[in-house]
Amino acid sequence: MTRSHHAPIEDLLDLLQALPHPVAAFSAADGCLLAANARFCHALALPAEESAQILRDGSGGAACDQSAYRLRIIDESIVHFLSPSGIRSLFAAQVKTARLGGQACQVIVPAAQRWQHTPASGESETGQYYDLLENLNEIIYVTDTNANVAYVSPNVYRLSGYHAHEVLGKSFTHFVHPDDLEGRIGVFLKILGGGQQATEYRMITKRGEVKWVRTDARPVLRNKVVAGVQGALVDITDRKEVEAALRRSEEKYRNVVQNSKDAIFVIQDHRLKFMNPSAQTILGLARESIAGRPFMDFVHPDDREMIADRHRRRLAGEALSNSIAFRIINWAGHVKDVELNAVLITWEGKPAVLSFLRDITVQKKMEGQLRNTQRMEALGTLSGGVAHNFNNLLMGIIGHASLSMADLAPATPAYNHLERIVGLVQSGSKLTRQLLQYARDGSRETVPVDINHLVKEASETLGAARKQIQIRFNLSRQVPRIKADQGQIEQVLLNLLLNAADAMPEGGDVFIETACLKGARAEGKVTLSKSMDYVMIKVSDSGSGIPDNILDRIFEPFFTTKGVGQGTGLGLSTVYGIVKHHDGEICVESQVGRGSTFCIYLPAHSADCTGPAAASQPPAMACQGTILLVDDEAHVLHPLAALLEHSGFTVFKAINGSAALEIFEKDWARIDLVILDLVMPHMSGKDLFYRLKEVCPGVKVLISSGYGQDGQAEALIADGCSGYIQKPYNIETLSKIMMEIIAAQ
């Protein structure tokens, strides 16, 4: 420990004992006590055994470990002393650097009346300063320039679970949470550079718990040179937990507001103060561009007075419903239907209105579509009734005209006039048939359909309504029939023709082509069975065409490029649905400014691609037999009975069901056929049919009606009715059907 040219430790102790003041010498390298006099031991109130050890040999010959006496220079004149028994002292002192035994040391001379200490027992006569540190909320600490703790106040135990002597000499980084370590080192280096900074970070306690702390630190100066860092540390874990709970609560409501599909905003002094992303979407501007704008700028001009009046009344405290519907115009000029719910709030200390705005444009459109559907259903019911009554009128006309023609020679002018009347009646029956097809509930009745004939009928209908449209035909004579619902396929053709006409408001040409082909030859983006024959219907126009960006959407329900009130968006979606329902395919090709082409492919009814064979005329049959004719319309009953009698039949007439039943009960054995009107008051045709079957189970009945063949007629046919004929009809057609039924076994 000594060299030959230095004084031994014993001589140094003798010298220190002679001094009149407390003096001690500590190693500058590790702070271990080298020597001290009795006055120093007395001033620290050390136990007798520790004092004797110090006076005998300083550190007692021990290495500088946990059993050694330690000293740290806290500031230029403040010293901290720690004994192995736990005595701690803080005191002001003069500090001088010297050399002892070949090593650097620090000689400490405490200043009189300026030091406090606490003995290991915890009872201190002069420990008021230590007690103050023990009871502070803040933990006082000092580190050297290497971040090693040179001093820490005793209350560090309450925060960390470490005793002060367990912390001394260790780097503060040992106690910092790994995720915060990089930031803490950066702050430490800034303070060493002369700064002063308050920061918050997490530390790890002795038990491994994580606690939040706040520190306010500044550099320690010795001889105007930075020698370390000193500061105060306070536990802020409770505050952080409260802040985290508040953040979670705020985040929860923020997520609700930010992700709400409804627009949420605050109106104060008639201006927008806050809005969520949905509000920005509905109004069509970014928040930075909307904030501070008057809300009325976005209200439709026709609705502004209503909204302004409502706002004034609400701010005045008048009880109003929270919800109101009106229109807005967003920044792009688009009109939207919205529903507003609003409540009064206080925003930044001033009255405001918290508003919830819902875009109900689609809903309003759907409601309009529903009302239109209901109106169309009502119109369909009405049109069915009109068609039924009109068919009865036409039946009366054709009946009387036919009677008159029977009494005239074919060469007379009157006969020709009557013949034209019959022709007009037949044209009128086409109109009523279309009304009945419109009125049907969508039920599908598949029959063999001549597509070329249907194309011409649909074209005639369009030509009557759109005279500026010219229809050009290229119809193959080798097209087979298809098995389809005639009314639905006619609707497909009409919708496509109307769509083509709408694309040419100033007029133009529509081209319709039919052909028979194998599935492999189908055009467009369709997949058909290569082994099947298909009937192709191609409808082309020279109109405005369809833009590429919407071509894939034209078959979507309610999608339309027409203005409000000019289209339902259901025409092409109906076409698509009907074609798919018939196991067919549809595709479209279009170029803007050059027109559009729709191709429909429907399965052929026959195996080959030859046209249907011409129906051979049945051999003429003699008209004879006894008929019971039942109809509640006198203008139908009487002329038809006369025509039947003129043709050779014996006829019983009945104006209602009761009269018909009475006749049948009396003469059922003589009656070969009953022609039964289906729609009658009191006793319907259906009820009468089952009453007739009770009298004669094998009765032959031909149903006659001004309505189309519906589910009721089909059910009666399934239960034994022999056939169905729709009014108006001529006597030749009726006679043929009657004789076929009578002749059948």
Q: What is the pLDDT of residues 702-728, one digit of tens each?
A: 888 776 666 677 888 888 888 888 788
Lowest mean pLDDT among 72-76, 120-124, 452-456, 638-642: 120-124
Q: What are phi and psi of 481, to 5 degrees?
A: -75, 160
What local confidence, expressed as pLDDT, does residue 464 receive? Answer: 64
**How crowded is the C-beta side of 357, counted as CA atoms within 13 Å?**
28
550 sits in which H/E element: helix 548-551
* Whether residue 6 has pLDDT greater than 70: no
CA distance from start to end of the chain: 142
Q: Are residues 216 and 275 in the same domain?
A: no
What tens digit of pLDDT does each residue of 661-709 get?
Answer: 999 899 888 888 999 888 888 888 889 888 998 899 888 888 887 766 6
Rounded CA-CA distance 404/460 in Å is 31
- Identify the CATH number of the domain in which residue 161 sits: 3.30.450.20
pLDDT in the model for residue 531: 74
Q: What is the CA radius of gyration of the chain?
A: 54
Q: Do 487 and 545 share a domain, yes or no?
A: yes
Q: Is residue 79 part of a domain?
A: yes
Q: Is the dihedral of CA 426, 431, 434, 439 positive or negative?
A: negative
Q: What is the pTM of this model?
A: 0.40
Q: State the pLDDT at residue 652.
A: 92
Mean pLDDT of the chain: 77
Report pLDDT for 3.
38
pLDDT at 258: 76
Residue 72 lies in a domain: yes
Say which CATH number the domain at 646 has.
3.40.50.2300
Note down the domain range covering 702.
Answer: 626-743
pLDDT reported for residue 204:
93
What proportion of the chain, given as a percentage, has pLDDT over 90?
5
Strands 626-630 and 650-654: parallel
What pLDDT is recorded for position 211?
Answer: 92
Nearest to 486 by CA among 461, 439, 454: 454
Same domain (yes/no): 237, 272: no
pLDDT confidence tier of residue 589, bands split at 50, 70 and 90? confident
Higher pLDDT, 564 or 84: 84
Q: Are residues 157 and 56 in the same domain?
A: no
Q: How far apart are CA 557 and CA 554, in angstroms?
A: 8
pLDDT at 1 over 60: no
Tell me the mean pLDDT in the region 122-128: 42
CATH number of residue 543's parent domain: 3.30.565.10
pLDDT above 80: residue 103:
no
pLDDT tens digits for range 610-632:
444 444 444 444 567 889 999 88
Question: Residues 712, 644: one domain?
Answer: yes
pLDDT for 445 equals 60
The answer on 455 and 536 residing in a single domain is: yes
- 255 and 267 in a single domain? The answer is no
Residue 703: inside a domain, yes or no?
Answer: yes
Secondary structure class of 515 (helix, strand, coil):
strand
Q: Would the pLDDT of 565 be above 60?
A: no
Give residue-wise pLDDT tens across range 256-304.
Answer: 777 777 888 888 888 888 888 888 788 877 666 666 788 888 888 888 8
